[in-house]
């Protein structure tokens, strides 16, 4: 387990948010074009081509979102499985940080710990799940 792998879920969530924003933009454009379309427009008009192109973009973005969601669920399951070995306090902290993607300030407030104490607990958790500092390899892999 590497620290980068723990953060992977966060980036997947960010990618999903960005794709959802792109989807919202496409939907807005589609609504605008649809409201301007008239009953007598045929398939070959310029507006109809824009509409078809936007529909295809929307389908592509929805497929990307679904792929990212699947990837995110796999990463979340991997992280959950990894942190399941920790005590309850460690699980709670690691979930807040790597599943809920909270900032340290939010975690300190939620857990009612001091900043330094929270980072000591976090360092212990990383050690317990096999993350060696920021280098990103298992201690047992060192020969």
**Tens of pLDDT, residues 5-57:** 888 999 999 999 999 999 999 999 888 776 665 544 545 555 567 788 889 99
Question: Where do the structural domains in the chain lie, given as residue ranges?
Answer: 3-141
118-127 long-range contacts (CB < 8 A, ≥24 apart) are: 118/93, 121/89, 121/90, 121/93, 122/93, 122/94, 122/97, 124/90, 125/83, 125/86, 125/90, 125/93, 125/94, 126/3
Report the percentage of the chain scoring pLDDT > 90.
63
Check residue 131 and give its pLDDT: 85
- In contact, 109 and 93? CB cutoff 8 Å: no
Mean pLDDT confidence for 102-130? 94
Check residue 138 and give its pLDDT: 41
Closest alpha carbon to 21 in 70, 51, 50, 64: 64
Confidence of residue 137 (pLDDT cuts 50, 70, 90): very low
Q: What's the pTM value of the predicted model, to 2 decimals? A: 0.69
For 77, what's the count of Cα atoms within 13 Å in the CB-facing half-sphere? 6
């Amino acid at each position: 387990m590497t620290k980068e792998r723990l953060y992977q879920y966060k980036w997947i969530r960010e990618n999903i948010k960005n794709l959802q924003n792109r989807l919202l933009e496409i939907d807005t454009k589609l609504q605008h074009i649809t409201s301007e379309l008239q009953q007598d427009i045929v398939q070959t008009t310029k507006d109809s081509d824009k509409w078809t192109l936007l529909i295809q973009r929307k389908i592509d973005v929805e497929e990307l979102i679904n792929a990212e969601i699947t990837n995110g669920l796999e990463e979340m399951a991997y992280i959950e499985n990894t942190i399941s070995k920790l005590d309850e306090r460690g699980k709670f902290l690691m979930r807040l940080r790597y599943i809920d993607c909270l900032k340290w300030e939010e975690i300190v407030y939620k857990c009612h710990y001091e900043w330094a104490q929270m980072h000591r607990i976090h360092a212990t958790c990383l050690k317990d799940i096999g993350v060696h500092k920021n280098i990103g390899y298992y201690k047992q892999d060192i020969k």
